[in-house]
Chains A and B, each alone.
Chain A
Amino acid sequence: MPFIEFGGKQVEVDEDGYIVNLDDWTKELAEYMVSQDGMTLSESHWEVINFLRDYYAKYQIAPMIKILVKEIGKVMGPEKGNTKYLYELFPDGPAKQACRYAGLPKPTGCV
């Protein structure tokens, strides 16, 4: 398995860079993963990541994009409740990139 070297530990990730053991996730690790991609996390990024993590804790899967969009619109104002805004925050797509930083597994199947 590939891994991320962080905090003196090896954190196991899959071929696409998703954390294998979800308990390995910490805020610091997320920040490190983001910095490896040449980005930094703003409050808006954290808003998305925290929502993803809360949703996952409740439902055991990442939310549908439209649920994420609606939630962000509710919290951050209707002008931000759209996929365009989410793509500005996470250029590789909220489903892929934000889930990776949030330590969520990638959904599989007919998706």
Chain B
Amino acid sequence: MAKLPKPSELAKISLTPPAKPWMDVVTDIRQGMYCHGAKAKNLAALELPNARDFKVAEEDWQLPEDWKETVLNGIKERLEKFRTFHVFMDICVRCGACADKCHFFLGSGDPKNMPVIRAELLRSVYRKYFTTAGKVFGKTAGARELDIQTLKEIWYYYFQCTECRRCSLFCPYGIDQAEITIIGRELLNLLGLNIDWICGPAANCYRKGNHLGLEPHTIKSSVEFFLSDLEDITGITIEPTFNRKGAEILFVTPSGDLFADPGTYTAMGYLMLFHELGLDYTWSTYASEGGNFGFFTSMDMAKRLNYKIYAEAKRLGVKWILGGECGHMWRVLHQYMDTFNGPADFLEVPKSPITGTVFDSAKGTKMVHIVEFTADLMKNNKLNLDPTRNDHLKVTYHDSCNTSRGMGFLEEPRYVIKSVCNHFYDMPEDTIREKTFCCGSGSGLNASENMELRMRGGFPRANAVRHVHEKHGVNLLTNICAIDRASLPPLMDYWVPGVKVAGTHELVGNALVMKGEKERTVDLRNEPLPGKAGAEGGEADV
């Protein structure tokens, strides 16, 4: 594995582009900047083409003989199918507004990470084979042959884009690079050129319903483990149900919440909240993943993996669906689920049984984001909260790309956090809300072999955290995304040591005063609450 340079080394970023035009600069596929290629067994499990162990470092990528034809046919098909793709291939005027908006460009200085050039990598091929000017004038018209070097270059840079859409916010035409990357990755998947960090979880999800491959008894045992911790912390016995027919609400969350810290603390927060409300809900061991790594493969794969959510809602006969804290999960649910696998006419428009609020925003999908649900509870004064239990925390909030830019979800998370914390400090304006910087590891790039890429991509986000860390003493970075919870801790350890990471419902769980609870002396991490009697040392997060 490539060794990760020290932060002081990595921070030396030159933003001066090479003198040569981009087409003449040969791309060096460098270790640390890419993920391992997909394994044969995972490609085969998903019935993806060209299933073989794909080794990026080897010269020969073992492509089918007609690979070029496959890609060109793939482009043709998608130009006809996706109007957005066709428009985005034609309309860029190369004004450069997007150039310095990409976190990967800011963290690497590599001009091919400017969104305009990332798109040009594919546009140049489009021009060559699909436009008259490109066919006749070639390079002069910005066109180039699709050869193996070009293909590898597209692969390298399309897996250095997290589909975060920050660039599109600044594009005067609204060109959405994420849409281009999505199509680019679809084309690469026609040749079996996926990465294993996407393909592995997607294959798990196809076989077992979730990215981690948790089996039903494993899910149940993980939840039971949280319950035993919660009983120690609160003195309260919580008894959730699984796969229960006739429940009012089906709850679906990313499987990372059931496995990896600090997501597990977020899951504990959900369990506490639902118990306190007496919510008539059920977990499912079938629809056991809200996230969708199929979305980083192709639209068809996303649709296939998404299917189980409505299917399970129908099987159990619930009225509506509540979803946990996740980023890309909501991009799929909010924008695509209804057309992928709907209409969910067997469900009702979600209505909070506690406040009576009808969530009109989820009229189509019938699925509500938990932060919206909780914000509504708080707004209606339905929760007994003690924010002083979070007084040792100085909190900032990282807007996840998909929930902020993809859903316009800006106020609800802040409202929830401010209701349970007394010390909240937003990061600078240009780095939050719609303009939020990506964690650097989204869209399935949160592997371990590409740490340099992740630390570079996360640099602008980390820089903004550092600002509030130095100015206000911020020591906790909250979020509402499972990839964030997995990827931000190493990012903070690398660039801003001393800042921990938490999901929003962990803080809700800490502050929630539950009926019949014993005096809290530790938080959900089993760490002593300052100022509370009897506090003993506990386990730090890892």
A residues neighboring B (CB under 8 Å): 1, 14-16, 59-61, 64-67, 69, 81-84, 93, 96, 107-111
Q: Which of B197-205, B402-410, B463-471 contacts A (4 or more CB under 8 A)?
A: B197-205
Q: Does B364 contact A (CB under 8 A)?
A: no
Is A110's CB under 8 angstroms from B446's CB? yes
Is B213's CB under 8 angstroms from A61's CB? yes
Chain B neighbourhood of A108, CB < 8 A: 196-197, 200-201, 204, 211-212
What are 16 A-to-B residue pairs whose CB atoms are below 8 Å? A1-B53, A15-B1, A16-B36, A60-B218, A61-B259, A66-B539, A67-B225, A82-B540, A107-B260, A108-B212, A109-B204, A110-B255, A110-B263, A110-B446, A110-B483, A111-B260
Is B486's CB under 8 angstroms from A111's CB? yes
Is A109's CB under 8 angstroms from B211's CB? yes
Docked complex: B208-249 residues within 8 A CB-CB of A: 210-215, 217-218, 221-222, 225, 229
Contact of A61 among B36, B39, B214, B482 (CB under 8 A): B214
Contact of A66 among B217, B255, B264, B293 (CB under 8 A): B264
Complexed CA–CA distance, A1 and B41 (Å): 13
Beyond known contacts A59-B215, A109-B212: 18 more, CB 8 A cutoff: A14-B36, A15-B36, A59-B217, A59-B218, A64-B264, A82-B540, A83-B540, A109-B201, A109-B204, A109-B255, A109-B256, A109-B259, A110-B211, A110-B255, A110-B291, A110-B482, A110-B483, A111-B256
Give B493 Cβ to nearest chain A Cβ, in Å: 12
Which of chain A's residues has its CB closest to B200's CB?
Answer: A108
Give B433 Cβ to nearest chain A Cβ, in Å: 23
Given contacts A108-B204, A109-B204, contact A64 B225 (CB under 8 A): yes
Most buried by B among A60, A61, A83, A109: A109
Q: Does B542 contact A (CB under 8 A)?
A: yes
Q: Does B27 contact A (CB under 8 A)?
A: no
Is A61's CB under 8 angstroms from B212's CB? yes
Q: Does B254 contact A (CB under 8 A)?
A: yes
Which of chain A's residues has its CB closest to B260's CB?
Answer: A111
Chain A neighbourhood of B53, CB < 8 A: 1
Q: Give the size category of B's interface with A.
A: 35 or more
Q: Does B261 contact A (CB under 8 A)?
A: yes
Chain B neighbourhood of A1, CB < 8 A: 53
Which of chain A's residues has its CB closest to B538's CB?
Answer: A82
Q: Does B449 contact A (CB under 8 A)?
A: yes
Q: Does B485 contact A (CB under 8 A)?
A: yes
Complexed CA–CA distance, A14 and B260 (Å): 22
Which of chain A's residues has its CB closest to B525's CB?
Answer: A66
Is B261's CB under 8 angstroms from A65's CB? yes
Q: Mark B33-46, 1 if CB is under 8 A from A, else 0.
A: 00010010000000
Given contacts A1-B53, A64-B222, A65-B542, contact A110 B213 (CB under 8 A): no
Given contacts A59-B217, A110-B485, contact A16 B448 (CB under 8 A): yes
Chain B neighbourhood of A82, CB < 8 A: 539-540
Docked complex: B415-445 residues within 8 A CB-CB of A: none
Complexed CA–CA distance, A26 and B346 (Å): 53
Given contacts A83-B542, A109-B291, contact A66 B225 (CB under 8 A): yes
Complexed CA–CA distance, A14 and B256 (Å): 23
Is A109's CB under 8 angstroms from B225's CB? no
Given contacts A83-B542, A108-B204, contact A60 B261 (CB under 8 A): no
Complexed CA–CA distance, A111 and B36 (Å): 16
Give A25 Cβ to nearest chain B Cβ, in Å: 18
The 4 A-B residue pairs whose C-beta atoms are closest, nearest first, are A109-B211, A110-B256, A110-B482, A111-B260
Chain B neighbourhood of A65, CB < 8 A: 260-261, 542
Give A108 Cβ to nearest chain B Cβ, in Å: 4
Q: Mark B249-286, 1 if CB is under 8 A from A, else 0.
A: 00000111001110110000000000000000000000
Chain B neighbourhood of A110, CB < 8 A: 211, 254-256, 260, 263, 291, 326, 446, 482-483, 485-486
Chain A neighbourhood of B483, CB < 8 A: 110
Give B3 Cβ to nearest chain A Cβ, in Å: 13
Most buried by A among B204, B259, B446: B259
Chain A neighbourhood of B229, CB < 8 A: 66
Given contacts A66-B264, A108-B200, A110-B260, contact A83 B539 (CB under 8 A): yes
Chain A neighbourhood of B204, CB < 8 A: 108-109
Given contacts A108-B197, A109-B212, A110-B211, contact A64 B542 (CB under 8 A): no
Complexed CA–CA distance, A60 and B219 (Å): 11
Which of chain A's residues has its CB closest to B201's CB?
Answer: A109
Which of chain A's residues has its CB closest to B222's CB?
Answer: A64
Most buried by B among A16, A64, A66, A69: A66
Complexed CA–CA distance, A61 and B204 (Å): 12
Chain B neighbourhood of A15, CB < 8 A: 1, 36, 449
Complexed CA–CA distance, A81 and B448 (Å): 26
Chain B neighbourhood of A96, CB < 8 A: 448
Is B259's CB under 8 angstroms from A64's CB? yes
Complexed CA–CA distance, A16 and B451 (Å): 13
Is A107's CB under 8 angstroms from B259's CB? yes
Complexed CA–CA distance, A8 and B505 (Å): 53
Chain A neighbourhood of B485, CB < 8 A: 110
Is A60's CB under 8 angstroms from B213's CB? yes
Which of chain A's residues has its CB closest to B254's CB?
Answer: A110
Complexed CA–CA distance, A26 and B174 (Å): 57
Is A109's CB under 8 angstroms from B293's CB? yes
Give A47 Cβ to nearest chain B Cβ, in Å: 18
Which of chain A's residues has its CB closest to B42's CB?
Answer: A108
Most buried by B among A1, A64, A81, A96: A64
Complexed CA–CA distance, A16 and B450 (Å): 12
Is A60's CB under 8 angstroms from B215's CB? yes
